[in-house]
Amino acid sequence: MKHMGTSALLVLVLGGCSAMAPPQAWEKGALAKPEMSMGGDALEQRNAQHVYASKENASGGAGVGGGGCGCN
Amino acid sequence: MAMGGVQAVEPGQHAPAIDLPGPAAQVNLSQLQGKLVYLDFWASWCGPCRQSFPWMNEMQAKYGTRGLQVVGVNLDNKTEDATKFLAQVPARFAVGFDPQGDTARRYQLKGMPSSVLIGPDGKVIQVHIGFQADQRQALETVIVAALPAAR
């Protein structure tokens, strides 16, 4: 019986966020808030972007193109 | 027409009711029967909405005397965000606040901004999603063709 309860809970948890309705077009203002950003604050994001671009310059980094020496 | 707002608003349908408080006056769609209503749903966080305001001001100024009424329904959760926006981008047309988004649900909006052109008979003429600079002329043409005085 105990296992039944555990598996029932597991089934509920497995669904995760898929049970929630996606935000409607007019509710997307909540996603535009700074705290919804995947990164940290603006400075940290800029630093991370700079490091990424310099490491990945041969393959184009976050932009298109690339080229260069091909070394990492 | 289906009950409630599960179905999107389509041309030919009767426009769902709107009765909202605004910064100037109450906005009631049923009181605008006989006028051509350009109903625009906007929010302060929506970039194209900001771009559409000067154009909507222009439309109101140009065709207001010929029976056009532009109505902007704000969908910000916080009305003070909308008030701040309006201080930067003036709206020279009727504005209503809908922080709960009830009207958006009733009209089943697919994107922001969305505009609904409602004829003098209260029936939907056109639903438009988004606002791009090169679409202004086409939108204006539809407005002019539907003006009550031009019929």
Q: Do A28 and B45 touch (CB under 8 A)?
A: yes
pLDDT of residue B2: 40
Predicted-assembly ipTM surpassing the 0.90 threshold = no
Q: Which of B35, B43, B14 is nearest to B107 (CA)?
A: B14
pLDDT tens string B92-144: 999 999 999 999 999 999 999 999 999 999 999 999 999 998 999 999 999 99
What span, in angstroms and rounded, lies between the C-alpha atoms of A41 and A34? 8
Residue B22 lies in a domain: no
* Residues in contact with A43: Cβ distance below 8 Å, sequence separation at least 6, in sequence order: none
Counting Cβ atoms within 10 Å, is residue A41 exposed (0-12), middle (13-18) or buried (19+)? Answer: exposed
* B62 φ/ψ angles, rounded to the nearest 5 degrees: -75, -45
> What's the total number of domains in chain B?
1
CATH number for the domain spanning B107: value is: 3.40.30.10
pLDDT tens string B29-72: 999 999 999 999 999 999 999 999 999 999 999 999 999 999 99
- Cα angle, residue A37 at apex, residues A35 and A43 outer, rounded to 5°: 95
Q: Do B45 and A32 touch (CB under 8 A)?
A: yes
List of chain A residues whose C-beta atoms are within 8 Å of the C-beta of residue B77: 29-30
A17 reaches B (C-beta below 8 A): no
Residue B69 lies in a domain: yes
Range(s) of the domain holding residue B111: 28-150
| Shortest CA gap A37–chain B (Å) | 15
* Assigned token pair, B56: 């909507």
For A27-51, what is the mean pLDDT? 84
A24 reaches B (C-beta below 8 A): yes
Residue B78 lies in a domain: yes
**Residue A15: pLDDT over 60:** yes
| Shortest CA gap B75–chain A (Å) | 6
